[in-house]
Structure 1
Amino acid sequence: MVDEGYVARTAVLTAPLSFDGESQEDYRAPNLLQRILGLFRNIRPGSDLTNFQLPPLFNIPKSQLQCFGEPLYCTREDMLSRCCRAESPLERLTSVVGWSISIMRPLIFGVAPYNPILGETHHVSKDNLNVLLEQVSHHPPVSALHATDDRGELEMIWCQHPVTRFYSTSVETEVHGKRQLKLLRLGETYVMNSPKLLIRFFPVPGVDWVGNVKITCQGTGLGAELCYRGPSLIGRNRRTIKGKIINLSSSKTLYEVDGHWDSTVTVKDVSNGKQKVIYNAAEIMSGLNAPQVKDSKGVLWSESAVVWSEVSGGILSKDWDKAREAKKAVEEEQRKLKRERDSREETWVPKHFTVSHDEENGWDCSPIEKSVPSAPIHVPFDS
């Protein structure tokens, strides 16, 4: 939870990661691999790194909440509108598959976003889409997302609980939680999971999304099974994706999915062999603009870009002492607030979501409000 007694700070917003997983700035430290291995020298294989705090030298100047929300509002093409306006259930499922691939953004090897603090929020609008995120738990880290459009066509409700483990030559993050995309006027709900994030140190350092994703729509009886694959041991076949679109009741394959999620992905109609492109990374992720503050008075104290502004400023100027001290101040403030809550025997309650958890189903989040209002931070139209 963010203390409103903080001195007012300016929101620091940076450009989204580009098509190649790079940024307009190179945040990576010299001798990067050696520095990373030094961090993990005394950590046992299999250890949980979920709450591991990185020094600012290994951070990019944005929070994980921002990285979680960016794929929704930082796109060149409006793929969500395609999902809403496709004429047939099969065309809509195919459009949803293409959109789901577009939210799997490449990341930069050797650096990571900040771990969000409890109660941190991120609220951004682009065109008619409004996106709101909140960190609803800190130990363990759980993030909730709610997005709606002004036309009343769609709603997204996501809950994300990452678990990160160290395995000697790699770090693997398993992303638990359900993602729902609702096409409101059609009464269709598409439910999907996330692949795993794999950071490899050897033999070729890199970051990839790997594993299986299922997308289902019980209303139409259609679904998809996708498999994200990392490169081979010699670095070939990078970022491939294969899968199929099926009839859920019969398991009959209707389309085959094939391609690379950092270039193009196609579907092939198994009945006639015809192919079409459903995702083109260059069209979706090139020339993206950074969010901008449109209404400075409306920006919440809990906004990610405000909470971490001094840390981000230090990273951007490569003033590591400033960044380190600023990050320490944020973390110490959180520990202070937790001690105060504990002394009063208070339980922290999220502002924007109702949260539930059980051993069988894990974490789940429901938005308190029906729709997300327009945000004080907007993404300008892409040039």
Structure 2
Amino acid sequence: MMIEMTMKIFCLHELAGAASDSDSDGSRNGMPDRRPADLKKQQIITDIENNYVLDTNVDIGVAGELVEEVAEENKSLLWFLLKQVRPGMDLSKVVLPTFILEPRSFLDKLSDNYYHADILAEAQQVEDPYQRFVAVLRWYLSGLYRKPKGLKKPYNPVLGETFRCCWRHSPESYTYYVAEQVSHHPPVSAFYVANRKEGFVIEGSLLARSKFYGNSTSAILEGCARIHLLNWGETYVTTAPYAHCKGIVHVMCAETGYHADVEFKLRSFLGGADQTNAIQGRIKRGKETVAVLEGYWDGKIDIKDKRTGEESNLFDVSLLKEQRLPRYLMNMDKQQEFESAKLWIKVSEAIQNEDQVAATEQKTLIEEAQRARARNLVTPWVPRLFHRNLQAVPTDGVVDQGWVYNHININPWAPDEVMEYEEDFVIKTLREGAAPVKPAADIRRDLARRMSDTDSHDELTRPKTSARTLKQSLYAIDTALREQTLAIERLSKSVETISEGQRQAAAFRPQNVGRVPTSSHSWDLFGGFVLAMVLQALLNWVFYQKD
């Protein structure tokens, strides 16, 4: 095993040296000497163009109430559903008819908050702490106006479902979004958003609950998001309103001392139309009210500085929606099995074709498959992209679900960093001096020529992990080891139980008198076997990438 590994490392060094020699020869022959980082950057830009496609769905609904006339053929079904629910009931346990579903996953819907990520890039440039706080608040409120026609509900993500997309600021600057359903009971969605070049990172997790109150429903989002302005070392903690924009939300920054309380209102039973989607809020520093704001979250919001008396417009949706960053989605052909669009594609197509029968059938298939996977789990589920920080401390009473991205990076953009990019849900950074990446076919051909005849064909066709991805591999190893630890603990308890049963049974057998118990020896063998498995997994992660 060690000889085989040594040969592989030697071949990788040989390939690196050959590439270096080739670059040097090109320079000596008068050819342009392109820096490795420039070559890699061009490859990243090409990959983005090949893997991501422009999202052409620009429907944002209209201002006003979220209402829609129900078709005649669906009224009886809706009435039957209403008769099944009781006040206080958790609607997550109710199978909703597909005609009230928005044809996309909740993981996708959470990304609506980032169409104006450029506002955060602008906030990063503001010197005054108060104006910086106002800019962050403006960004937060700008993420609420996109809504479907009528009151629609997105799909409940299945456990392990993932989603990714990005927004383009410039050809070399993208805001990346990755999300994963990290828990199903209760349903928790975790997300991570990054554009370190523009100076911000956002992370958070939300638990979604829906309840019926007799004459209304509420979709409650418990959790928070943290906006990191990297160059200032500031973190802004935000909570979420109810899904239909009701309730009080908080935006707070411990570093500057500013915080805001914003109340979202719905029109009361006797209220006029002017109360629909209205908001009121205050910005405070300590106990002092610094500014007040009011307006409509889907229209105009004005802000008044209490110290100077100056009034200004915080934003106007009619103008703001024309300034949205273009969003790019992963090409369907490049999506993995549990990515949202691919997972729900048949349900979405049926809803768009107004075929409620087919939509219900396809939705049921996905939900039944999830239940079957849950029944077959023998160890606790370990998310792929996030882990839970059990030491998460609530901020001023704010609920924190505590999920953290495995590859989180909240360091300010460094001078040697060139470009940020996403690869297999991992957000990475290209630095100066990075070696150019050869096409996979060239690497395999070079390895085949240099490897000994004893190497198998399977090994030759497996892409190798380079030093640039070693850090990401170690993160993955950490996640895998946490999963293995849980499995070993369960297995250990089972072995101990069996051993104890054998010892008790042996005590009643006369033929066992005088024999030396072998359970200790068996346990040593078992421990050695487990250790070998863990070491093998560790070596595989270091030297190989998954296909």
Residue type at the aligned position of 1:354 = H
Candidates 181, 184, 191, aligned match of 1:135: 181
Please tell me whether the aligned partners of residues 205 and 400 of structure 2 are also in contact (alpha carbons under 8 angstroms).
no
> Mapping of 1:163-178 within 5 angstroms?
163-178=209-224
Is the 1:130–1:375 Cα contact (8 Å) retained in structure 2? no
Output the CA distance in 2 between the equivalents of 1:97 and 1:153.
Answer: 16
Moved more, 299-308 or 48-57: 48-57
Q: Is 1:104 aligned to residue 144 of structure 2? A: yes
Note closer, same or farther for the CA distance 1:53–1:20 as it changes in structure 2 (3 Å cut): same
For the residues of structure 2 that align with 1:139 and 1:113, how far apart are their CA atoms?
Answer: 17
After TM superposition, list the pairs within 5 Å mapping 1:76-95 onto structure 2.
Answer: 78-95=118-135
Give the distance between the partners of 2:324 and 2:71, measured in 1 at CA. Answer: 27
For the pair 1:374 / 2:414, whether they are aligned, the reply is no
* 1:42 to 1:325, Cα distance in 2 relative to 1, 3 A: closer
Matched, 1:213 2:255: no
Which one-letter code corresponds to 1:67 in the other structure? K
- Residue equivalent to 1:3: none
Report the CA distance between 1:295 and its aligned residue.
4.7
- Tell me the residue number matched to 2:312: 276
Shift of 1:301: 1.8
Evaluate the alpha carbon distance shift between residue 296 and residue 64 of structure 1 in structure 2; reply closer, same or farther with a 3 A threshold.
closer
- Greater C-alpha radius of gyration: 2
Contact 2:68 2:150 in 1 (8 A): no
For each residue in 1:255-283, what CA deviation from the matched residue of structure 2 results, as whole angstroms up to 9, or x when unmatched? 11111111111111112211111122122
Q: Is the 8 A contact 1:223 1:247 kept in 2?
A: yes
Indicate the larger mover: 362-371 or 272-281: 362-371
> 2:294: which partner in 1?
258
User: Match for residue 162 of structure 1?
Assistant: 208
Are 2:149 and 1:113 aligned? Answer: no
Larger displacement relative to structure 2 (36-45 or 113-122): 36-45
Larger RCO: 1 or 2 (CA < 8 Å, sep 6+): 1
Tell me which residue corresponds to 2:164: 123
1:364 aligns with 2:373: no
Equivalent of 2:380, from 342, 347, 352?
347
Q: Which residue of 2 is the match for residue 6 of structure 1?
A: none
Per-residue Cα deviation, 1:71-93 (whole angstroms, up to 9, x for no partner): 21x34x83222222222110011
Q: How big is the shift at 1:286?
A: 4.8
Distance 1:12 1:58, change over 3 A: farther
RMSD, aligned α-carbons = 2.9
CA distance in 2, matches of 1:286, 1:89: 28
The structural deviation recorded for 1:336 is 1.7
If each structure's strand is expressed as a fraction of its own residues, which one has the higher value? Answer: 1
Match of 2:364, SS state, is helix
The separation in 1 between residues aligned to 2:153 and 2:383, in whole angstroms, is 25
Partner SS, residue 360 of structure 2 = helix
Cα deviations across residues 44-88 of structure 1 (Å, max 9, x unaligned)? 11111134331222212101111111221x34x832222222221
C-alpha distance in 2 between matches for 1:316 and 1:30 = 15
| Aligned-partner Cα distance in 2 for 1:161–1:350 | 16
Q: SS of the counterpart of 1:300?
A: coil
Aligned partner letter, 2:365: A
Alignment correspondent of 2:230: 184
* Contact kept in structure 1, 2:332 and 2:342, CA below 8 Å: no
Give the alignment's TM-score, normalised by structure 2: 0.58
Q: Deviations over 1:104-148 (max 9, x none)?
A: 244543431111101111100111100011110111110001000
Q: TM-score, length-normalised on structure 1?
A: 0.82
Which range moved further: 292-301 or 308-317?
292-301
Helix, strand or coil at the partner of 1:374: strand
The match for 2:540 is none
Aligned position for 1:241: 279
1:214-233 paired onto structure 2 within 5 Å:
214-233=250-269
Amino acid corresponding to residue 310 of structure 1 in structure 2: K
Could you say which residue in structure 2 is the equivalent of 1:71? Answer: 113
1:321-345 deviation line (CA, Å, top 9, x unaligned)? 221221111112112211221xxx2
Report the secondary structure of 1:159's partner residue: strand
Please give the secondary structure, in 2, of the residue aligned with 1:123.
strand
CA displacement at 1:160 relative to structure 2: 0.6
User: Contact between 1:16 and 1:70, CA under 8 Å: does it hold in 2?
Assistant: no
Q: Percent identity?
A: 26
For structure 2, which runs of at least 5 residues remain unmatched after alignment? 1-52, 169-173, 410-419, 426-547
Aligned partner of 1:204 in structure 2 is none
Mean alpha-carbon deviation: is it higher for 94-103 or for 137-146? 94-103
Conserved in 1, the CA contact under 8 Å of 2:91 and 2:212?
A: yes
